[in-house]
Structure 1
């Protein structure tokens, strides 16, 4: 199918799944007529067909742009992100170690390649989170390193069916997330972002003020700070699609927030402070894996995700691999 402008063509790849007649994710490639073009043609097409692209994203939850030969560098990617016109969301309160690259673009989670990053909605553990995220493959992985994605409402439906009492308690009490931050970033940890880069300041009083805006409590220690967030909802209602979504970082925190400072079992509890049942968390992880799809990255790929509809993760990989990201309000 071509859009009315004829620039984008909907494509099929083997990894896609179909739910109620809707493929996940949508895949767009250049039409045959547009196989030779420069970056300005692509950005113009994005601006021209933005309403259609927005409706496609809303319907499918994620769009993979593949085969656009002018997309090779971080500045190219930044230009495409800018063409969509979404407002930028500063990365305040997130856990991942990242480095700013150019414009609105920074590195995706820089944790070691042998580590898996569990499924999560981006920044679901803080009140202000992105509505959309872009990923870009600047250097495709030698092996592995996929970014699996899964539709959030499917996870909610399966968990509700299998563990109704657990989900009821989750909806009633929400979750509390606890994380201990050092002063500086620790690139050996998947949650190694230090408090200075978490709050974008070297000043503790400014960090307190920014944490306060997130309703986050800080407890300072000799060499860092304990952050306590919550209770915060673990299930949200997606108004635009009229369905409940599994919007939390519960599995990510319980199975992955581990380093020299943090014990993952203590990283997340029910909102009333009671511990979570480990066997249910791991069963939820199994459901996430079963429902997910993992598309191997190719150089130049752009993946646009609706953060309210889709959770994402990262598989271990053999370097090199360089995936860049951009967050939007």
Structure 2
């Protein structure tokens, strides 16, 4: 299975110090080896050191052109990497387990945009790696933009040093309002019952405490889920650099983000930070069969809105 993969250049890639972002792997036409799922999984197992090194160097790897068509195919690919699975207990995005380690991506309506974030940045144990798989590609829009965390940190720190210093000192408090029942019409629509897999409030509190979450019960039967203060600017040891590890663009009727002292974030600076994310991001249109492997400690991701059918599946690793 040597040289089964070939690195491909595609439109919209960026280059930082001559390193492509993201990197893209396709079947090597010179090997004449089929691009079936079984051959792909075998190649992943035999070339794991190369793939790990590439992911560490670039932060994101797209596998494009392989014969991956179903959730079962995707699960086999995820399993081939051998990464330990991470439970989605405590996460607020509406998701459904499809098969094995495979879940739907956020099930909120596809015409709703999702801002840049590290997956489960508001948890004590965020996943180290994420997989996304495109089962149905939208005809327009619906991309999953990605951006390098250290790049946006450097730009924001240079432009707003006092803001970044305060974030480093205080961290952020994330408050999410959970309904009593699921509401899939919005991005954070899971109920507390769904988030903690129980209908018993005492059991929900116990499970929340184990995850470092505080719950405050609301009069309407819902709950306020509070995490933090959590660090925003973190030092990523394996690459020896500071990274931006937060979501500051999510304030709204179901979510509130504040400094560690409870004071509100400056809206004007947050808006400018969002512009920096957009300037530095890469949003490659999905193709059916694409698999996106993201290092969650190096890259933030988002979701562009679309009005056409779109189905993307996900899997999380410790």
Same fold judged by TM-score > 0.5?
yes
Deviation at 1:202, TM superposition (A): 2.4
| Cα displacement string for residues 84-117 of structure 1 (whole angstroms, at most 9, x for unaligned residues) | 0000001122121111111100100111121110
In the TM superposition, 1:236-251 aligns within 5 A as 236-251=234-249
Question: Structure 1 segments of 4 or more deviating over 6 A?
Answer: none
Q: Distance in 2 between matches of 1:236 and 1:68?
A: 36
Q: Does 1:30 align with 2:30?
A: no
TM-score by length of 2: 0.97
Q: Does 1:149 align with 2:117?
A: no
Deviation at 1:220, TM superposition (A): 1.1
Tell me the SS of whatever aligns to 2:224.
strand
Aligned residue for 1:40?
38
Aligned residue for 1:82?
79
Aligned residue for 1:111?
108
Aligned residue for 1:318?
307
Could you tell me whether the CA contact under 8 Å between 2:4 and 2:33 is conserved in 1?
Answer: no
Where structure 2 has 5 or more consecutive residues not aligned to the other structure, the ranges are none
Tell me the SS of whatever aligns to 2:90.
coil
Tell me the SS of whatever aligns to 1:167.
helix
Could you tell me whether the CA contact under 8 Å between 2:193 and 2:199 is conserved in 1?
Answer: yes
Aligned residue for 1:195?
192
2:273 to 284, 287, 303: 284
Q: Distance in 1 between matches of 2:194 and 2:239?
A: 35
TM-score by length of 1: 0.94
Deviation at 1:249, TM superposition (A): 1.6
| Number of matched pairs | 316
Deviation at 1:213, TM superposition (A): 1.7
Deviation at 1:35, TM superposition (A): 5.6
Q: Distance in 2 between matches of 1:233 and 1:62?
A: 23
Aligned residue for 1:49?
47
Tell me the SS of whatever aligns to 1:231.
strand
Q: Distance in 2 between matches of 1:89 and 1:121?
A: 15
- Decide whether aligned partners of structure 1 residues 37 and 168 sit closer, same or farther in structure 2, where only a CA change above 3 A counts: closer
Tell me the SS of whatever aligns to 1:179.
strand
Tell me the SS of whatever aligns to 1:144.
coil
Q: Distance in 2 between matches of 1:250 and 1:180?
A: 16
Deviation at 1:296, TM superposition (A): 0.2
2:180 to 164, 179, 183: 183
Aligned residue for 2:8?
11
Q: Distance in 1 between matches of 2:193 and 2:109?
A: 21
Aligned residue for 1:309?
298
Q: Distance in 2 between matches of 1:328 and 1:311?
A: 16
Q: Distance in 2 between matches of 1:285 and 1:98?
A: 26
Deviation at 1:318, TM superposition (A): 2.1
Deviation at 1:270, TM superposition (A): 0.2
Q: Distance in 2 between matches of 1:276 and 1:168?
A: 13
Aligned residue for 2:203?
206
Two-structure CA RMSD over aligned residues (Å): 1.2
